[in-house]
Every structure is written in C-alpha cells, then in structure tokens.
Amino acid sequence: MLEKLEAVVRRFEELSTLLVSQEIVCNPDLLRKYSKEHKDLSEVTRVYQEYKKAKSDFDGNKELIASSDDSELIELAKLENSELEENILNYEEELKVLLLPKDPNDDKNVILEIRAGAGGDEASIFAGDLFRMYSRYGENLNWKTEIMSSSEGTTGGFKEIIAMIKGAGAYSRLKYESGVHRVQRVPVTESQGRIHTSTVTVAVLPEAEDVEIKIEDKDLRIDVYRSSGPGGQSVNTTDSAVRITHIPTGVVVAMQDEKSQHKNREKAMKVLKARIFEAEQASQNAERADARRSQVGTGDRSEKIRTYNYPQTRITDHRIGLTTHSLDAIIAGDIDQLVDPIITFYQAEALKGEE
C-alpha cells in the first residue's frame, strides 16, 4: 500500500507543476483533464501526509521513551502515543478506502426513474412520496431537480416519473437507491383500516456524456404525435410529443411534458443516452449486470431492497440488515442515515475483493 501511496504523491506533485505550465493552461481539454485528476488525488495525498506525520511522531516518542530518564516526559509520550496509535489505524483504514478504484460515474448527474409497481393507486401515491424524498434530499445538498417526464396516478402521486438531478457527487450518493422499495401502510383509499403492501421501482442512471456514448442518426426512429396528457389545448392539438426508438438495442423513450417538440426531443435523447450507456456498462461487467437485475427486478412484492413500515415508523434496508425508526425524517429527505451505512458496506465488500 505504501508504494501505491508514494506513487500517488509523485503524480499529485507532477500534476501541480503541470497545471501552472503555459502549455497546459493554453490547452482547455488537458487543463480540464489534469484538474480533475489533481482533485481526485488531493484527498489521498492529504490523508497520507497526515498519516506520515502521525507515524513520525509515534516513532519519535518511542525513541524518547527508550532513551529518556524523565519519568514525567515518558508518561506524556506514552499518552500521546496511545492517541497516535489509534489515529494511525484510522488513517490506514481511510487510505485503503481511498485507494479503491474510483467509480468514474461518481461525479456525474443522475437520471432518476421511479415507477409504481404492485399495489395500484397506493403504489402511485408512494412513488410520489419517494420522489419528494429524493427532491428534498437534493435541496439539502444544493442539487437541482428537473422533471423530464411524468404520468400522474389517478388518486395522486405518479405511475411513472423521470427526473434529472444535477449536483456534485449526485451519482455517488444515490447509486445504491436502485431497486424495489416496499411500503406497508393503510392507504388513504382504504375504508376498513387494513394495512396494504405496495411496491415502487427506483432506477438511478448516470448521465451519459456525448464523448462516452455516440448514437448514429441512422440508428434512431423518431415518431411525433399529439400529447394525450394534461398541459392545455396547445399541447393536445400539436404534434409536440416525441417517441425515440434506438433500433439496435430496442430502447424506447417517449416525452410529452413540454409544449415544444424540440424540448421533448432533447429530454428524450438525454434519457435514451443514459439508458444505453448504463446497458453498455452492464454488458461489460457481468457482476454489475447481475446486481442491477436483482435490485430492480420486476416490481413484484417479493423483490425488495427496502421496506417502509408506516404503522411502526420503521425502515429496513434488507441488503445490510439495517433497521431504523426514523421513517418520518427519512421520508422528509434525511436519507444520509441510510445512504452512509450502505456506502460503507459496499466499500467494505470492495476491500474484501482487494485482499
């Protein structure tokens, strides 16, 4: 590990020099590339420098303890080393995590897709609850949420909603939210007070950049038609809705929320690229493909990653066996208490794979 860390520091210092050179400053592409790499390595470098200082102080105290006759000084050195030893162990664990291969999508914006699964109207209502939960979470982090497409439920919520979430680290925080979310509660439409179980599927896709996914015009079939949803007379009497089919993969995206055909097409292409990009990555990584299938599944009640039990104000994440009774706070957007343990769990799994 120390060899890797020394290599990181050398590269960080090399990039620091390059970023002030005239050659790089005058080259926007290289400047952007090296600036990102420099930023990615800065945290590892900082923690490693702190680790080395703690290790140096610890070794210095050991020498003092072995050579000094001053009992008071020896006692102080021992006390300091007790704290330093704990710090060194913490730095080592942090560095192991920081040296894990970084997900190249972590800093990307997210396309969030939420769909009602089993449970009829109640599933649609809960889909709306989940969308508000993620939106409020994003607000707390100064992210911007833009609805790209939605189909409202008959009694509230959404049968389906697709949104773009823009913000630093959006994908890194939300990527483990993909899967089936199960809710247990008494629906507002239930007159007998019986608890119902419903499901909603959530898919979190990284936004694909043009340099990563190239789509040829000849591979697209684009249909325009009149919108059938709400939006006023002008929407319903013009061919503003757009449906794009990617012929090689069969991926289909339809957009009709905007009055402008151009805007609907632009949004549809963003979603299309994200879906194809995610599918291509999955095909290159069988483990990831299997993981996504097991998470998202079909929306059946038996396929779940998390259960929201309203009568007991309890949320359980079944992947890591975590249970909390902070349901109200979480639904209001405080999902860090779920996100942080899940990220820690998957980091630990990744560390096992590195051993």
Say whether both 198 and 343 belong to one domain: yes
* Weakest-pLDDT range from 9-18, 153-162, 272-281, 333-342: 272-281
Is the pLDDT higher at 348 or at 204?
A: 204
Say whether both 81 and 120 belong to one domain: no
Q: Which residues contact 138 (CB under 8 A, 6 or more apart)?
A: 144, 145, 165, 167, 170
Say whether both 144 and 249 belong to one domain: no
Say whether both 347 and 298 belong to one domain: yes
pLDDT at site 289: 44
Please report whether residue 307 resides in a domain. yes
pLDDT at site 284: 61
Which secondary-structure segment (H or E) carries 180? strand 179-185
Say whether both 46 and 150 belong to one domain: no
Please report whether residue 145 resides in a domain. yes
Say whether both 42 and 150 belong to one domain: no
Say whether both 10 and 50 belong to one domain: yes
CATH number at residue 321: 3.30.70.1660
Which residue from 331, 330, 333, 335 is spatially nearest to 139, judged by alpha carbons? 333
- Give the pLDDT mean for 56-83: 92
Say whether both 177 and 311 belong to one domain: yes
Please report whether residue 103 resides in a domain. no
CATH number at residue 17: 1.20.58
Residue showing tokens 């890194």: 172
Per the structure, the count of domains in the chain is 3
Say whether both 118 and 190 belong to one domain: yes
* Domain span including residue 37: 2-98
Residues 195 and 311: their CA atoms lie apart, in Å, by 8
pLDDT at site 125: 94
Please report whether residue 317 resides in a domain. yes
**pTM for the complete prediction?**
0.70
Say whether both 321 and 176 belong to one domain: yes
Say whether both 259 and 277 belong to one domain: yes
Say whether both 171 and 299 belong to one domain: yes
Which residue from 223, 256, 220 is spatially nearest to 240, judged by alpha carbons? 256
* Weakest-pLDDT range from 127-141, 171-185, 227-241, 340-354: 227-241
